Amino acid sequence: MIEPGNKTASTGTTQNPHSPQSTQNAQSTQSTQHTQNTVRLRPGAQGGPSASPGRPTVPLTVGVEEEFLLVDARTLRVVPAAPLVLATAGGLPGEMHPEGTRYQVEISTPVAESAATLRAELAALRRTLAGAARAHGCRLLAAPSPVVAMTGPLHLTDDEPRQREQHRRFGALTDTLVSCGRHIHIGTLDVDTAVAVSNRIRPWLPTLIALAANSPFWGGRDTGHASWRAMAWSGWPSAGPPPHFTSTAHFRRSVQTLLGSGAALDTKMVYWDLRPSGHWPTLEFRAPDMSPSIDTAVLQAELARALVSTALREIRERRPEPAIRDDVLRLARWRAAHDGLEGFGLDPYTGTELPAADLAEALLDLVAPELAASGDLDHAAKTLATLLRDGSGAHRQRTTYARRQNLTDVLRHLTDETENF
């Protein structure tokens, strides 16, 4: 990203350099201004990381949480088997744990400094969990929704009074708890830095939603959206795009307003697409759908870390934050959830309609210097090219369904891809 208000050499007109339409012009500037993918840490620092010379540098780390549904191996319908599967899986504390309902399980990778390590951890945890599921006649489903309609009462996590209170207060909204996302933590960042970085990353959240779109079917029908999870989850009063924060104090007031109004039981219910974690010194990306491909998961983590690194560089260089209207960002988010990667999206800076594939490539171009510095550029570029060639998860689900008009085929496709380690 280059300074807002720079003029293009060819026309002499002012152009927003943060816009995807200006990414190619900005790329040559970025490559000469690139600094290493590290952040100097100073707890409590205002406005970003310390730039004091001689202080040690620490690479940005990444951790990923993945949520899975458990389905009967024969019928492929969800089953409330999480307690049995988790007891069989064992694992280290914190690596495998229950989610909001007994239909779901979650894995959390250890902190990783490289994409290769992250990929290995994801594969190992998935393999262990899949084996435990098979021992109880189940399979893992890496999908945001059960695809087919659920019957019977909602099985909340038995030992979580919090879940019962959530159900009492929010009623039918808790039906959306039977959905799965992928959360990406980038650290280590103090809260002041995480807030400042969040402001600069907000415009790219719709593109991350489009890249991850994997929930076209919900309740047994095609929703007409590529990521219905993004839309369903927006029903929660504490969800959606994060606000622009003028300060860390503003961020804290926003959280307290959610709590005080009853819109959230606790800080875990701050469901913004991007948030400073309430439990770890990280910035947490919550927008992506869950999807079967491990390489796609790694791509999302690579892009998230590179976006954070790019924002940190801008903060060090005292570049102004990009100007973006909240109403345009919300529209861009909806368009990304509706069209996914195959249709169109909105340039969040201008509201201009652009092919979603162009927005994805603009994001890659923007963060390419940071990806190259961390050794991730080759993998990210190849994985994105594969996505653009083969289609998003939503596109592949619809292609599978079109062959026989059978949602069981979609479920089988998803479970087979999930267990392709």
List pLDDT tens digits, range 52-62.
Answer: 322 334 689 99
**Picking from 85-94, 283-292, 341-350, which range would have the lowest pLDDT averaged per residue?**
85-94
Contacts of 188 (CB under 8 A, 6+ apart): 39, 41, 58, 60, 61, 281, 282
When pLDDT is cut at 50, 70 and 90, the band that residue 44 belongs to is very low
Is the pLDDT at 74 greater than 50? The verdict is: yes
Distances in Å between the Cα of 319 and the Cα atoms of 15, 28, 47, 48 are: 16, 17, 12, 12
Distances in Å between the Cα of 337 and the Cα atoms of 58, 66, 71, 86, 229 are: 35, 20, 25, 32, 8
Burial group, residue 54, by CB count within 10 angstroms (0-12, 13-18, 19+): exposed
Contact 111, 61 (CB under 8 A): yes
Contact 230, 179 (CB under 8 A): no
Is the pLDDT at 46 greater than 70? The verdict is: no
For tokens 């923007």, what's the residue?
366
Is the pLDDT at 161 greater than 60? The verdict is: yes
* Separation between Cα atoms, residue 232 and residue 172, nearest integer Å: 11
Helix axes 191-201, 294-316, angle to 10 degrees: 110
The per-residue pLDDT for 32 is: 34
Contact 36, 57 (CB under 8 A): yes
The percent of residues in the chain predicted with pLDDT above 90, rounded, is: 76
Is the pLDDT at 12 greater than 50? The verdict is: no
**Taken in order 200, 285, 387, 226, is the CA torsion positive or negative?**
negative
Helix/strand/coil percent split, the chain, to 5: 45, 15, 35
Contacts of 279 (CB under 8 A, 6+ apart): none
Average pLDDT over residues 161-180: 89
The percent of residues in the chain predicted with pLDDT above 70, rounded, is: 86
* Separation between Cα atoms, residue 325 and residue 322, nearest integer Å: 10
Is the pLDDT at 217 greater than 80? The verdict is: yes
Is the pLDDT at 235 greater than 90? The verdict is: yes
Peptide bond into 32 cis (omega under 30): no
When pLDDT is cut at 50, 70 and 90, the band that residue 85 belongs to is very high
The per-residue pLDDT for 323 is: 87
When pLDDT is cut at 50, 70 and 90, the band that residue 22 belongs to is low
Average pLDDT over residues 120-136: 97
The per-residue pLDDT for 58 is: 60
E strand or H helix at 312: helix 294-316
Over residues 390-399, the pLDDT tens digits come to: 999 999 999 9
Q: Give me the chain's average pLDDT, please.
A: 87
Measured distance between the N- and C-terminal CA atoms of the chain, rounded to whole angstroms:
36
Contacts of 6 (CB under 8 A, 6+ apart): 14, 15, 17
The per-residue pLDDT for 8 is: 31
When pLDDT is cut at 50, 70 and 90, the band that residue 15 belongs to is very low
Is the pLDDT at 183 greater than 70? The verdict is: yes
Hey, which residues does 215 pair with through a beta bridge? 227
